[in-house]
């Protein structure tokens, strides 16, 4: 896993997220962290990506559903950049992402549902549904 900091890499990441995430690029609501899951063969390949940010902009919904905001990182977008049958890649990416964030001091990852196949992946790696937003989107939390 790698964090993207270079402006050109962020531009490429944003293009990939726009193409492969059903909701497109997450905009606004604070500073984002861009993370990619990397496979290295002869060259480096990004096979999945995620944007993370502080959970404070989502405090109302988190608190209403009984999730503590302090110590929580919000998973804004996650996408596989390889073919649909990539659940194994996504599961490993989310496991590794959770472990890396735990080492940095995070206690929880939270995020709204994405594609239906992602709900299965999220459950496989320890995300639990804690409720729904007022608009009906399911909120999942992984306790690290």
Between residues 83 and 50, which one has the greater pLDDT?
A: 50
pLDDT at 30: 66
Separation of alpha carbons 42 and 96, rounded Å: 22
pLDDT in tens, 1-31: 899 999 999 999 989 988 887 776 776 666 8
**Domains, in order of start, for the chain:** 2-143 (3.40.630.30)
Residues 83-139: tens digit of each pLDDT: 765 667 888 889 999 999 999 999 999 998 776 556 677 778 899 999 998 888 889
Mean pLDDT of 22-46: 76
Any idea what DSSP says for residue 58? Answer: G
Tell me which of 140 and 90 has the higher pLDDT: 140
Question: What is the tens place of the pLDDT at every residue in 59-90?
Answer: 999 999 999 999 999 998 888 888 765 667 88
Note the helical H segments in the chain: 7-20, 59-64, 87-103, 116-124
For residue 123, what pLDDT is reported?
Answer: 77
Bridge partners for 53 per DSSP: 74
* pLDDT at residue number 96: 93
Q: Which residues are CB-contacts of 22 (< 8 A; sequence separation ≥ 6)? A: 114, 115
Neighbours of 28 (CB within 10 A): 7
Phi, psi of 69 (to 5 degrees): -75, -45
The CA–CA distances, whole Å, from 64 to 58, 59, 69, 72, 134 equal: 10, 8, 11, 15, 10
* Mean of pLDDT values over 23-50: 78
């Amino acid at each position: 896993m790698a964090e993207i900091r270079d402006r050109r890499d962020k531009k490429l990441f944003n293009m990939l997220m726009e193409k492969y995430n059903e909701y497109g690029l997450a905009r606004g609501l604070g500073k984002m962290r861009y993370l990619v899951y990397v496979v290295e063969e002869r060259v480096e390949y990004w096979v999945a990506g995620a944007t993370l940010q502080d959970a404070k902009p989502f405090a109302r919904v988190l608190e209403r559903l009984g999730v503590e905001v302090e110590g929580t990182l919000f998973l804004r977008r996650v996408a596989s950049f390889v073919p649909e049958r990539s659940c194994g890649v996504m599961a490993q990416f989310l496991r590794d992402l959770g472990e890396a964030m735990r080492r940095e001091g995070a206690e929880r990852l939270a995020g709204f549902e994405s594609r239906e196949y992602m709900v299965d992946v999220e459950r496989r790696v320890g995300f639990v549904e804690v409720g729904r937003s007022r608009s009906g989107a399911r909120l999942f939390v992984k306790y690290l």
